[in-house]
Chains A and B, each alone.
Chain A
């Protein structure tokens, strides 16, 4: 672990990736360091979209360019097979219906509950080529940072800002500071992007990125496939960063080719030559640089109620001194989680296992989990659920026979959506149940009243489901 502050005298012309995207979107300077920034893509979902659309309609304000606004149904929809508008979330059905009506009236593209494109917003946007390198993209959802994996400036906003973006095609933004986080080292078998993210946040704290746009770089990052990069950027918000992003490369361009809203033909070639310029210049200066250097990154898991409360899966519940938390936060977390200092993580028995969410519900996530589950069964007493991130992921998984592996192992196999990633009054694992989850937040009651969430990679969730306690996936790899 090293840290360096770099002086700003070198290379005035050298720019970071973020500087380049920013410069290409400045519409006007508003004074006091705030700029009016053009917004290329707005995506809504049914949880907050209806409010934004309703407010605009009531104020009589049209949407500046409806063709560049999208809406999906993901947050509160039912995920059991045969679903319709009914949902266990109180008031949810009315919100779903209103979102549908208002999206239609506003003329924006809607990916409705049973549409083939439906899924979690940050899963379907890349699948459909809505996010592209170099775009500005906003959504009233804090995990919009996920989409920075394509080399976009993508960030979460509130509902009022979403109204502003829809009505004007712009947002008023003060240029954030930049940070580069470089990961150097190998990802061995059983280790994936989620582990990189938990390593970073447990090392520098959940406020470590506060105020910064974080560019992820280094050998471990360039080796990640596109989906792994989405996972890494997904948790930039758990690091309190404004957002995360990664310079786009050939993997990203190959992924996008032929996607529905990606450029085609001659426009593709023009876009490609622009996209190839989207990298930080070699001597670009960041406001802060962090480097995480490991011979080998290891599987991580959270013990407490903040993503920074993470340790290697082979580790123990830390002592107060080791925890890096304040005394009050430490004791509160232990009590909430029902654990004692010094307990080996692997001795914690679990009641639930959840694979899903915009962090880890893509096809590669399901493939890695299925590789662990093949020929094995979930331990007795463990309720295990897999929720593919989109209908497209679900279809692909079924074509590969992964659904059979999940089902035969004892997992429920669901329709796509946010599902039990968060509790909105609908389903939960239950009071004080201990769950290993491939999601991104282990806050108190995030997955349900008093539910105890340990976040980890999907392969660690699969291994733990089989073992019946928190487990090291590396012991189960062929």
Chain B
């Protein structure tokens, strides 16, 4: 997984509440059964003029030239609700997003972000709206900075907003380490747990 420390980039506002994973990547766009090849389907229902088509809808924010090279998404509450499909995060990442700032996230989506190098930033709704207001004035100049070690979002004018993130999640994003390798360093604890648990709850363990 790619490491994340500090990023200064163009941010785009998409402030509707309850943007679900099917809007982020419609089922019909998950054709390949792979983790890649999904960026084209990102927000397909909004981004293109027709279902299944590829003609860009000029009104959709990501299609506007002033938002080219966007890396940060400003979103509404309960972002990423609905289906647990990790494709939503893979599609965002492949498109270029490295952070989503929203008042709240669906828990599964939030976890999927952490595991794919996207920093999910929770900030109060008023702050997200205010940041969107600044960005909109001149998207290519009014860039946002995500400073993960300091846990801050910094606007172009220097205004800072601290955000909360689990120490463990922060560590994963900063190190870019593979989580499975990390866990397998605890093999002794896992084996000890299993030995004790087999005695305590033998019915959990099934015959092959």
Does A127 sit at the interface, judged by CB under 8 A? Answer: no
Closest residue on chain B to residue A272 by CB atoms:
B203
A207-B166 contact given A27-B193, A444-B23, CB 8 Å threshold: no
Chain A residues within 8 Å of B17, by CB? 326, 328-329
Q: With a CB–CB cut-off of 8 A, which chain A residues contact B189?
A: 27-28, 36
| Residue on A nearest B208 in the bound complex, by CB | A67
List A25-73 residues whose CB lies under 8 Å from chain B.
27-28, 30-34, 36, 38, 40, 48, 50-51, 55, 59, 61, 65-68
Determine if A306 and B18 form an interchain contact, defined as CB atoms under 8 angstroms apart. Answer: yes
Indicate if A445 sits at the interface (CB-CB under 8 A).
Answer: yes
Report if A142-B84 is in contact (Cβ < 8 Å); known contacts: A28-B186, A98-B33: yes
Q: Are A36 and B186 in contact (CB under 8 A)?
A: yes
Neighbouring A residues of B31 by C-beta, 8 Å:
90-91, 425
Cβ A142 vs Cβ B82 within 8 A = yes
A242 to B108: give the CA distance in the assembly, Å: 8
Contacts of A326 in B (CB 8 A): 17
Q: How many residues of B contact A (CB 8 A)?
A: 56
Q: Is the CB of B115 within 8 A of A160?
A: yes
B162-187 at interface with A (beta carbon < 8 Å): 166-168, 171, 179-180, 183-184, 186
> Once the chains bind, are A267 and B107 in contact (CB under 8 Å)?
no
Contact B180 A163 (CB under 8 A): yes
Are B77 and A441 in contact (CB-based, < 8 A)?
no
Indicate if B49 sits at the interface (CB-CB under 8 A): no
Q: B27–A422 contact, CB under 8 A?
A: yes
Pick the residue among A30, A66, A94, A422 that contacts B83 (CB under 8 A). A422
| Interface presence of B136 (CB below 8 A) | no
Select the stretch in A169-177, A184-192, A312-320 that faces chain B.
A169-177
Is A446 an interface position by the 8 A CB rule?
yes
In chain B, positions 100-118 with a C-beta closer than 8 Å to chain A are 104, 106-108, 111-112, 115-116
Q: How large is the interface on A (under 10, 10 to 19, 20 to 34, 35 or more residues)?
A: 35 or more
**Are A66 and B208 in contact, with the CB atoms below 8 A?**
yes
Within 8 A of B (CB), among A185-211: 206-207, 210-211
Q: Judge whether B81 is part of the interface by a CB distance below 8 angstroms.
A: yes
Query: How many Å lie between the Cα of A329 and that of B21 in the bound state?
Result: 17
Of B84, B115, B166, most buried by chain A (CB within 10 Å of CB) is: B84
Chain B residues whose CB sits within 8 angstroms of the CB of A90 once the complex forms: 28, 31
How far does the Cβ of B132 sit from chain A's closest Cβ, in whole Å?
14
CB distance from B34 to the nearest CB of A (A): 7
Query: Is A424 within 8 A of B30, CB to CB?
Result: yes
How far is B166's CA from A445's CA once the two chains are assembled, in angstroms? 34
Chain A residue at minimal CB-CB distance from B186: A28
* Segment 73-131 of B: residues with Cβ below 8 Å from A: 77-78, 81-86, 89, 104, 106-108, 111-112, 115-116
| Tally of A-B Cβ pairs under 8 angstroms | 179
How many Å from the CB of A276 to the closest CB on chain B? 14
Could you tell me if A168 and B168 are in contact, using CB atoms closer than 8 angstroms?
no
Q: Are B78 and A158 in contact (CB under 8 A)?
A: no
Task: State which of A156, A210, A211 has its C-beta within 8 Å of the C-beta of B84.
Answer: A156
B159 within 8 A of A: no
A61-B180, A142-B83, A263-B203 in contact; A30/B168 too (CB < 8 A)?
A: yes
> Are A423 and B18 closer than 8 Å at their CB atoms?
no
Query: Across the interface, which residues of B come within 8 angstroms of A211, CB to CB?
Result: 107
Among B193, B202, B208, contact of A107 (Cβ-Cβ < 8 Å): B208
**Interfacial chain B residues near A132, Cβ < 8 Å:** 203-204
At the interface, yes or no: A19 with Cβ under 8 Å from chain B? Answer: no
A161 within 8 A of B: yes
| Complexed CA–CA distance, A164 and B116 (Å) | 13
Cross-chain contact A158 with B205 (CB below 8 angstroms): no
A135 to B197, CA, bound (A): 12
B183 touches A168 (CB 8 A): yes
Tell me how far the C-beta of A233 lies from the nearest C-beta in chain B, rounded to whole angstroms: 16
Give the chain B neighbours of A142 by CB distance below 8 A.
82-84, 108
User: Complex Cα distance A242/B201, Å?
Assistant: 25
A430 interface hit (Cβ, 8 Å): no
Of B108, B115, B183, B203, the contact of A36 (CB 8 Å cutoff)? B183
B26 beta carbon closer than 8 Å to chain A:
yes
Tell me whether A32 and B108 are in contact (CB under 8 A): no
List residues of chain A with CB within 8 A of the CB of B203: 132, 262-263, 267-268, 270-271
Residues in A with CB closer than 8 Å to B179 are 160, 164, 172
Q: Which of B26, B35, B166, B205 contacts A51 (CB 8 A)?
A: B35
Name the one of A59, A168, A443 contacting B82, with C-beta atoms under 8 angstroms. A443
Question: Nearest chain A CB to B168's CB is how many angstroms away?
Answer: 4
Contact with B along A98-126 (1 / 0, CB 8 A): 10000000010000000000000000000
Residue B138 at the chain A interface, CB threshold 8 Å: no
With A169-B194, A424-B28, A441-B82 known to touch, is A67 a contact of B20 (CB < 8 Å)?
A: no
Contact of A476 with B by CB under 8 A:
no
B86 & A159 in contact (Cβ 8 Å cutoff): yes
Would you list 6 pairs from A and B whose C-beta atoms are within 8 A, ordered by A residue? A28-B193, A32-B171, A98-B33, A160-B116, A170-B183, A425-B31
B residues bordering A, Cβ < 8 Å? 16-18, 20, 22-23, 26-28, 30-35, 45, 51, 77-78, 81-86, 89, 104, 106-108, 111-112, 115-116, 166-168, 171, 179-180, 183-184, 186, 189-190, 193-194, 197, 201-208
Q: 12 more A-B contacts (CB under 8 A) besides A38-B193, A90-B28, A329-B17?
A: A27-B190, A36-B186, A158-B86, A158-B112, A160-B179, A161-B112, A172-B183, A206-B18, A263-B203, A326-B17, A422-B83, A425-B28
For the complex of A and B, the 9 pairs showing the least CB-CB separation, nearest first, are A32-B167, A263-B203, A425-B28, A424-B27, A158-B86, A158-B112, A34-B168, A142-B84, A91-B31
